[in-house]
């Protein structure tokens, strides 16, 4: 009975003339570019220079590829050095086989060399790159789909992976798509790290340690589903034990680092200047410009308010002077009125006395005239 499933590509390589284009290699390359792009944005947001992440990645990526291949060859040596196998195949990295544990360990060595040459703290750089590495893994896992490898147990689920190749001991059938499970898990890890970093301001390597711990938690149960050949120890696959050990170390680092170095680094790249030019730095310059314009606006607003304040003070001074002048004027007018009142009072008194004198003199004259008339 037919049911829904995820088809596998009929081949994992296309030939453009003599040049082979391999799906596995393309997934690795795209993943690296995404990691560097996102890491660069996060590095700039923390105060670093544009392009620094890419410069250090020039050291980290080759070291990571070598380390990842070494881990795979050492842990699966029977695929290359047992009877009937060709040891030259150990160098054929395009056929698949990269151990994330070796890639991270050796990549850290390369990153340390690049950071040391620039005087940059490795933990700060790792924090900026952490979610990008998770996304790179999510993309890189699709390379296993092109190679029809790293699948799980048989299943009849609608999202079962249809394996059609019978090379290297494969048995065609329908299996759990563990590559897809890990790809989706890594996307979730990237989202978790970005969220936690914004929420808790993770620093001093704690964002990277969170990525490691979260990835190990998913890798443990996904690894238990796989059916490809692997070494076992106490009933579990080697990578399951590795996931447990690395998970505990990452959690321990988060706890101890938070106690010894709380908070986040204030300076991640010494002597980072605003004048650096880069394609990604254009946005930074625009941000700087907008910040400068904002500060200029604030300064002009401050000057405006100062001018308004001085005008207010001047108007208040003028108002008080006007009030003082009015008060003086009213006082002067009042004194003049009082003076006039006093003058008018004295004038009326003198006129009344004069009139009284005139009246008495006229009455005396009248008396004299009357007496003269009687005598006559």
Cβ neighbour number for residue 130 with a 10 Å cutoff: 29
Q: How far apart (Å, rounded) are the C-alpha atoms in residues 123 and 209?
A: 10
Kindly report the length of the chain.
376
DSSP 288-336: HHHHHHHHHHHHHHHHHHHHHHHHHHHHHHHHHHHHHHHHHHHHHHHHH
SS3 readout for 337-376: HHHHHHHHHHHHHHHHHHHHHHHHHHHHHHHHHHHHHHHC
What burial class does residue 117 get, using C-beta atoms within 10 Å of its C-beta: 0-12 exposed, 13-18 middle, 19+ buried? exposed
Is 199 one of the annotated binding-site residues? no
The radius of gyration computed from the CA coordinates of the chain, to the nearest angstrom, equals: 48
- What is the bridge-based pairing of β-strands 232-233 and 19-22? unpaired
Q: 56 near 69, Cβ under 8 Å?
A: no
Q: What are the helix and strand counts (H, E) for the chain?
A: 10, 7
| Residue stretches of the annotated binding site | 141
């Amino acid at each position: 009975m037919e049911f829904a499933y995820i088809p596998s590509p009929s081949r994992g390589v296309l030939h453009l003339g003599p040049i082979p284009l391999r799906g596995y290699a393309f997934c690795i390359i795209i993943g690296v570019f995404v990691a560097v792009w996102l890491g660069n944005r996060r590095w700039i947001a923390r105060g670093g220079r544009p392009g620094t992440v890419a410069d250090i990645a020039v050291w980290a990526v080759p070291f990571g590829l070598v380390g990842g291949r070494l881990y795979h060859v050492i842990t699966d040596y029977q695929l290359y050095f047992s009877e009937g196998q060709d040891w030259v195949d150990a160098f054929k990295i395009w056929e698949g086989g990269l151990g994330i544990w070796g890639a991270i360990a050796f990549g850290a060595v390369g990153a340390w060399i690049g950071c040391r040459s620039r005087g940059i703290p490795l933990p700060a750089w790792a924090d900026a790159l952490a979610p990008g590495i998770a996304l790179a893994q999510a993309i890189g896992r699709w390379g296993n789909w092109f190679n029809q490898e790293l699948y799980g147990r048989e299943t009849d689920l609608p999202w079962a992976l249809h394996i059609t190749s019978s090379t290297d001991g494969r048995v065609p059938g329908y299996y759990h798509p563990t590559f897809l499970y890990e790809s989706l898990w890594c996307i979730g890890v990237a989202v978790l790290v970005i969220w936690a970093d914004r929420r808790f301001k993770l620093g001093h390597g704690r964002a990277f340690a969170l990525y490691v711990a979260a990835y190990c938690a998913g890798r443990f149960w996904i690894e238990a589903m796989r059916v490809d050949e692997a070494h076992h120890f106490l009933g579990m696959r080697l990578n399951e034990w590795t996931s447990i050990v690395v998970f505990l170390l990452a959690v321990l680092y988060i706890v101890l680092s938070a106690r010894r170095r709380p908070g986040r680094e204030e300076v991640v790249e010494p002597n980072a200047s605003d004048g650096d030019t880069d394609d990604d730095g254009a946005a930074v310059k625009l941000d700087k410009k907008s910040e400068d314009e904002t500060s200029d606006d604030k300064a002009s607003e401050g000057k405006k308010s100062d001018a308004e304040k001085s005008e207010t003070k001047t108007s208040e001074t003028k108002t008080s002077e006007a009030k003082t002048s009015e008060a003086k004027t009213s006082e002067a007018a009042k004194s003049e009125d009082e003076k006039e009142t006093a003058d008018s009072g004295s004038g009326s008194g003198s006129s009344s006395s004069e009139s009284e004198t005139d009246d008495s003199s006229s009455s005396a004259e009248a008396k004299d005239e009357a007496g003269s008339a009687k005598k006559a």
